Structure formats: structure tokens, C-alpha cells
Amino acid sequence: MKPLTKLGEKALENGSVWELWERDGVLTLQLDGMPCANSFTYGSEVAMAELATSPITRAGQPCIMIAGLGLGYGLAKAMECLPKEKARFIVAEPVPEIVKWNREYSENKALFEDKRVSTEPASAAELCRKRTGSLHAILLRSAHTRCEMSLGDAQAYFNALKGGSLLAICLSKADKRLEATLRRAGFEVSTTLVPASSKGKQLRLHTLVLARRGRFVPFAER
């Protein structure tokens, strides 16, 4: 086995440190030494994108927000599920270096040449406060075991979504406090377990939180 190679490092103002590591062709994105995204185990991100986009495949101009880029697997699957020319994919990534590392090292680097993809150096909650009722889905991957979401941020996500659309959150394990916050913001909340990866011998499960804004109206009725 080859040694770990550090490909990039970014220290934040709050003292946290993002790092990108590589070993034997596998990329690992870490925050404060804890793995947050990996090019070997990304099955839950793929499942999140599939579930969040499945209700809107008939939308003429779907607009999707990717809240936290990771290594781009959620974005890649969302684009595969919604191949329409007028689809729009907004990547909310407040750490520009993560976008830069994806462009340089990720197997999904070609996605950033697609005119349907735009990147914004801001948090998803900040962007959602400016986009009332304009998004068909929000895909959020938590960088921590717990997803620290304020009620104000949850309400911003709720208000940014179209009626019946989903905020999908990928977690390493269930988070009842997060579910309660989402319900207080007005969401209908459910959870499901999905494999963290389709690779490897050990089955590890991640939790997907699916938060819906009201009743879904089929696009044929709109």
C-alpha cells in the first residue's frame, strides 16, 4: 500500500482545517482530521440524489441546489437523473478550495465545464434566503456526525423550495434533533437507510433525511 499523500489544505477563520488526501487512487476529504467524503464510499450520496430528483424528472427547467460539494458524487448523480438542457445545478460551497480540488483531482472534474453548473462561494442557507420558492430540490451532505442546523436555516430551506419539493440530507447516523428542527420549520419529515457504499465487503448504512415542503403536485397539473 502506498503512503498517504496530502494534495491540499485550507485553514478556516474559525480554526477548522480542510484537507484532501490520496492513497492508491482513492481521495479522502477531511475536516479537522475526520473523513467527510471519499471516492470509494459515496453510495449514500448517489441514493440521496436519486430520491431527491425522482419526483421532478418531468419538470421542464428543474433547479437543484447542492449544499456542500464534497467530491462531486451527489452533483454527478443529480445531473445524470436530470439531463435536460434547461436544468440548473447550483453548488453552494463556501470553501473555494474544495471546488478547486474537485476541478484538479476529482473524477467528476468534467462536470464543472457544463454550462448548467454554477458554483457559489457561500453557504446554502445564505443563498436560499435570496431564492424564495425557486428550487425543485436541495441536496445537503453533512460534514459532521450531527448536522448543526438552526431553525432559521431550516426555514430558509423551506421557503426556497417549491411546493412538494424535497430537502434531502445525508448523515452517517440518525439525528432526532435535526428532524425536530425541520418539523418546526414546516417540513414533513421521513428517514430511510441506504448503503454507504456499493463497494467493499462490509455493509455500512447511512441515514437519509427527506424533508418535504407540503403536498407534491405532479408537473402535469401545474
Transcribe 118-135 into DSSP letters.
EEESS-HHHHHTT-TT-E
Is 23 inside a domain boundary? no
| Spatial distance between the Cα atoms of 127 and 97, rounded to a whole number of angstroms | 19
CA torsion through residues 137, 142, 97, 127, sign = positive
166 inside domain: yes
**CATH number of the domain where residue 104 is located:** 3.40.50.150
- Is residue 127, in this structure, part of any structural domain at all? yes
pLDDT of 2 = 80
Residue 75, in any domain of the structure = yes
pLDDT score of 200: 58
> How high is the pLDDT of residue 222?
41
Is residue 34 in a domain?
A: no
What pLDDT does residue 214 have? 85
What is residue 217's predicted lDDT score, i.e. its pLDDT?
55
Look at residue 202 in the predicted model and tell me its pLDDT: 66
- In angstroms, the CA 11 to CA 97 distance is 10
Q: Is residue 103 part of a domain?
A: yes
Q: What is the pTM of this model?
A: 0.92
User: How many separate domains does the chain show?
Assistant: 1
Chain CA centroid to CA 149, Å:
14
- Is the residue at 72 inside a domain? yes
Q: Is residue 81 one of the residues assigned to a domain?
A: yes
Backbone dihedral region of 175: left (phi > 0), alpha (psi from -120 to 50 degrees) or beta? beta
Per-residue pLDDT in tens (0 to 9) along the chain, 222 residues = 788 999 999 999 999 999 999 999 999 999 999 999 999 889 999 999 999 999 998 888 999 999 999 999 999 999 999 999 999 999 999 999 999 999 999 999 999 999 999 999 999 999 999 999 999 999 998 755 567 899 999 999 999 999 999 999 999 888 999 999 999 999 999 999 998 876 656 678 889 999 999 875 554 444
Q: Which domain holds residue 111?
A: 41-221
Q: What per-residue confidence (pLDDT) applies to 173? A: 87
Local structure of residue 157 (DSSP, 8 states): H
